Amino acid sequence: MPKSREHGQGALYWVESRKMWRAVVDVGFDPESGARLQKARMSKTKDAAVKKLNLMLRERDSMGLVLDRSTRVSDLAQAWLDDVTGRTKPKTLTGYRSNLKASILPVLGHRIAADLTPADVRRMHATVRKRGAGDSTVASAHRTLVSLLEHARAERLIAENVAALTPPRRTRPGKARSSLTREEARTLLGAGDPRWTLALLTGLRSGEARALRWEDIELDRGIASVAWSLTDATFTHGCDGECGRNRAGNCPQRRINLAADLDWVPLEDRHVLVRPKNTQPREIPLTESAIKQLRAHRDADLGPNPHGLIWHRANGSPKTNTDDNTDLRTALARAGVDRPGATTHWFRHSYVTLSEHAGIPWSASAGVSGHGSPEASDPYRHVLTAEGRKAVETLAAWVDSH
């Protein structure tokens, strides 16, 4: 018989058939049947059972529920992936799977999710670093763990997201993105290439620019609609595993593997259009110069273009991010700008930096670039040395004159 305890304080008794102590607490009533709901845990010793009982009581009284202490991180990971697969973009989902397989599950997979501690998170960081990975890899794995545990917290499987409380430490200075100087931007604008004119004046992401189709541009109104981003999807077997190929991409009946709830447009092979990063389409204004350049670009494009893309390969297929970066470096070299390590993402930094130095309010510039908050723009701000020198000299002259 259960040991007599005060009402609401649970029960503790010996289970002869299992030779173990059983701790039980009431956690409410079934809303449909009205039956009493209980949580129970077993222990080999009475002292251990008392500790489990007290823990369940603390959880019930402080959070209104008793945490699930049977779900391991590996089980949680699968449930989380099943949940996010229906709405996550291909590259994001691929990153989640890679981080789980390589960094999270080998270290934490066997742990009970509700029992994770900051020490466990730091242990994962250390293990990833031991295999020679850098700060960016650790940070990527950490972000995945944060998302995983946030799902568990929302499902009330854990009390708090310990990963969110334990950010990884940097072991070396971060590799900062760069920004074009004002003079370099002026030189590139002078080249008259609409791809780089739009990038500099609007902060277009590479995927957004490569996704632009002529149907998205209204040259007479001077408006471009940024409603899509070009990305590469993954494939899944369409043969129920009967083709014998290890890689789904080699399956004769392969299918694009995309979330069921994701809004997307197929182009060719694995190239697809998905909604931009913040999922919200936006309109960007075009300058008279950009409109003129786009008209000239359209008139000169005499090759195949089955998808109606503004920028595409010679055979009409979509351009990749690598293509875009190569084109940029070629354009910079041709314009006499010595930036061999430049990438198209620099334009996000250049746009925010130059806009701020030009005195453009954030509310106006963000409407073009698609940044959702001033905090989102912060990492893209840089100090332009020439403009900074002018600021210092102006301040010195102002102080000296009073």
* Cβ contact 304:315 at 8 Å: yes
Tally: H helices and E strands in the chain: 15, 11
Q: CA 341 to CA 343: how far, in whole Å?
A: 7
* Cβ contact 219:210 at 8 Å: no
Instruction: Please give the pLDDT value at position 4.
Output: 46
Quickly list DSSP for 268-304: ETTEEEE--TTS--EEEE--HHHHHHHHHHHHH--S-
- For the chain, 402 residues long, give each residue's pLDDT as a single digit of tens: 444 455 556 788 898 888 888 888 776 777 777 777 777 778 888 888 888 788 777 777 766 666 667 789 999 999 999 888 878 888 888 899 999 999 999 999 999 888 899 999 999 999 999 998 888 899 999 999 999 999 988 887 887 899 999 999 877 655 556 888 889 999 999 999 999 999 988 888 999 999 999 999 999 999 999 999 999 888 878 887 778 788 877 888 888 877 777 888 999 988 999 888 776 788 888 899 999 999 999 999 988 999 999 999 999 999 999 999 999 999 999 999 999 999 999 988 888 888 888 887 777 777 777 765 655 555 655 555 555 556 555 655 665 675
Instruction: Please give the pLDDT value at position 379.
Output: 60
Instruction: Please give the pLDDT value at position 250.
Output: 82
> CA angle 149-153-157, nearest 5°?
100
Instruction: Please give the pLDDT value at position 366.
Output: 75
Q: CA 390 to CA 12: how far, in whole Å?
A: 77
> CA angle 198-375-349, nearest 5°?
30
This model's pTM is above 0.75: no
Instruction: Please give the pLDDT value at position 394.
Output: 63
